[in-house]
Structure 1
Amino acid sequence: MAAPAIVVMGGSGRMGRMLCDLVRASDAMRLAGIVEAPGHDWAGRDLGTAMGGAEIGVPVTDDPAAMVAGADAVIDFTTPAATVAMSRLCAETGTAHIVGTTGLTEDDIAAVDGAGAHTVVVRAGNMSLGVNLMTQLVRQVAASLDADYDIEIVEAHHRHKVDAPSGTALMLGEAAAEGRGVTLGDVADRGRDGITGARDRGDIGFAAIRGGDVVGEHDVIFAGAGERLILRHVASDRSVFARGALKAALWAQGRAPGAYDMRDVLGLR
């Protein structure tokens, strides 16, 4: 069977370049093309020459319809607007859509997951194996400890990250809420400043740190009277996210249409 053809969204960015390198180095898949924003300097060029080298036979386009129609999967770590637009195109072409984009609103998520009626969508706030195992642990601990244990989620990222809380922090918050049998939107406390009053029992709090070149750190704190349980994940290399996305792209091949996440990919459900 031929290796799946992979299209990378935003190949000129940090994550995009890493994805391109990993796909090209893999024997299990091939890099079919790159999609960039309309008017991007790389559009219409070969990826190799766009990066300052020789041609490598990988086209870059800002008009993705034909490229996506001929691909087996699109890997997408871009912006909410670009991801929603790509979800519509993947639904039309039946191309698997692997989504690591963060900062999605509820409406964005509904649109992206809605494409699962027509194709395979794998969406996750974080695609690393460690984070998804941690998510399972958070769900289990939250189910075991009642609201006498306050839940706080603290995350740290580099200075350039534009959304807060991070997609991973929200994913961990959703897991904690599921464990407690509540809806995160009803109990989330996403900002404290000034005289806020005492903490409400049962709330799930979030705090975000931005600075330097931090790749990603997440703590989930269960704070009770006399003790604290802290679950922690530290990412020191962005390749953990890219490798998870590649695993998802391979897993998606031959699957029935649907909206999936990394728990499905990793067999954790």
Structure 2
Amino acid sequence: MADLPGIVITGASGRMGRMLIQTVQASDRARIAGAVERTGHDWIGQDLGVAMGGAALGVTVTDDAGAAFSGAQAVIDFTSPTATVGFAASAGKAGICHVIGTTGLSAADIAQIDAASASCVVVRAGNMSLGVNLLVQLTKQVAAALDADYDIEVIESHHRHKVDAPSGTALMLGQAAADGRGVDLDAASDRGRDGITGARKRGDIGFAAIRGGDVIGEHDVIFAADGERIVLRHLASDRAVFARGALKAALWGQGRTPGHYDMLDVLGLK
């Protein structure tokens, strides 16, 4: 096991953190090398396996990311923008692969992650699943083939606990549509409709967000024209698809030239 790439999981106690730990533990290609939680969390100082309600794993949960990263080859990070920016700096210093599934990152956050990628491999994506990344490519191709007579709408649904909207995946899909059309997404986006908004502006890319229950992730890209609609859809029914994609990215990043990559690079779709 010692010769397998060691992976640190940040936000270890969260839904995705637990799923990532289980996915790495079940893999024969990687091992858990560390677990990080926020300062003051109940898990700090506990054995990770015991904290999760199982057998000891010999990994102590810590709030010291730098120490955890120093003995690892990769970190998988589905936390918050502020935490992720800090982890990026620590990963850059340690020279380990930083896989980022965190959404809601600002342009300033991404600039700091870019700076860290000068000294380590960063793989960042709004969604780590194979299916979603294929959907991104299809969206770009369909948008390139159809003119502005086809209105584009991106509709996403997630559980009640999700704190950002539109989702990172919805923004990936919107960006793909904008790239296919050859337009600037910021200029074309329509993210809020309430009250008397007037008619839809030709060429806009609309976004709608639904929040409720325990929905893991559902995304539709609709191309609507007079007389017909084309609907591209991805439904996620298990968070394991994101965890498996993130592990694939962490393994792919081993030995790569430092830089800022995404899942299309990992999947060879570029």
Instruction: Return the alpha-carbon distance in structure 1 between the equivalents of residues 50 and 218 of structure 2.
Output: 36
Q: Does 1:147 align with 2:156?
A: no
1:65-84 pair list within 5 angstroms: 65-84=66-85
Could you tell me which residue of structure 2 aligns to residue 219 of structure 1? Answer: 220
Give 1:114 shift: 2.7
Instruction: Return the alpha-carbon distance in structure 2 between the equivalents of residues 5 and 123 of structure 1.
Output: 19
Return the letter of the residue paired with 1:242. A
1:1-269 pair list within 5 angstroms: 2-269=3-270
- Structure 1 gap ranges (5+): none
| Residue deviations 1:162-214 (CA, integer Å, cap 9, x gap) | 11100000000010011111111111000100000111111100000111111
| Residue deviations 1:114-165 (CA, integer Å, cap 9, x gap) | 3211110000000000000000000001111111111000000111111110
SS in 2 for 1:19: helix
Return the letter of the residue paired with 2:141. Q
Residues 32 and 59 in structure 1, CA contact (< 8 A), matched pair in contact too: no
Instruction: Return the alpha-carbon distance in structure 1 between the equivalents of residues 74 and 6 of structure 2.
Output: 7
**Count of aligned pairs between the two proteins:** 269
Give 1:265 shift: 0.2
Give 1:55 shift: 2.0
Instruction: Return the alpha-carbon distance in structure 1 between the equivalents of residues 137 and 107 of structure 2.
Output: 22
Give 1:53 shift: 3.6
SS in 1 for 2:79: coil
Instruction: Return the alpha-carbon distance in structure 1 between the equivalents of residues 104 and 197 of structure 2.
Output: 26
Instruction: Return the alpha-carbon distance in structure 2 between the equivalents of residues 137 and 9 of structure 1.
Output: 32
- Structure 2 gap ranges (5+): none
| Displaced runs of 4 or more, over 3 A | none
Question: TM-score, with normalisation over the residues of structure 1?
Answer: 0.98
Give aligned-pair identity as a percent.
70
Instruction: Return the alpha-carbon distance in structure 2 between the equivalents of residues 221 and 52 of structure 1.
Output: 44
Give 1:113 shift: 2.8
Instruction: Return the alpha-carbon distance in structure 2 between the equivalents of residues 53 and 230 of structure 1.
Output: 44
| Residue deviations 1:83-131 (CA, integer Å, cap 9, x gap) | 0000011111111100000111111122223321111000000000000
Q: CA RMSD of the aligned region, Å?
A: 1.0
